[in-house]
Amino acid sequence: MKKIQKKFNTLPNTEYLNLWLQRLTIKTNPEIVYEGALCQLIRDTKVSTKLWNNDWLQEDIKNLIENTDLIDREELEKLSRLIAAKEVDIFHYDF
C-alpha cells in the first residue's frame, strides 16, 4: 500500500483517489497518512486548511461549522474491513 501511495503522491489531483485508498486501509493500517484536507479530517478533527470558503457566512454559523467534527466517529468505528457493494455502487438500492 505504501508503494501505491508513494507512486500517486507524485501525481497532481489525486485527493479523491487518496480518499479511496484511505478507506481501503483505515481498518487494517490506520497509521498511514494520506495527503489532502479531507483525508486529514479522519486523523485529526482540526484541519489546518479550510475545506471550503466560509468567510461569507454569519459569524455564529461559521463558528458552528469550524467547531463541529464533520466525521461521524461512531460510523467510522463500525466500518468493516471488507468494503460493501453499497459503498461503491451508486445505483445500489435497499429494498
Domain residue limits at 43 = 2-88
- State the average pLDDT over residues 18-24: 91
Give me the number of domains the chain comprises: 1
pLDDT interval class at 2 (50, 70, 90): confident
Q: Please report whether residue 94 resides in a domain.
A: no
Q: Which of 87, 93, 89, 90 is nearest to 27 (CA)?
A: 87
pTM of the predicted structure, to 2 decimals: 0.74
**Which of 14-23, 73-82, 84-93 is predicted least confidently?**
84-93
The grid cell for 19 is 480518499
Spatial separation of the C-alpha atoms in residues 25 and 53, rounded to whole Å:
30
* Max CA separation in the chain (angstroms): 44
Q: Please report whether residue 31 resides in a domain.
A: yes
Q: Please report whether residue 74 resides in a domain.
A: yes
What is the identity of the amino acid at 28? T
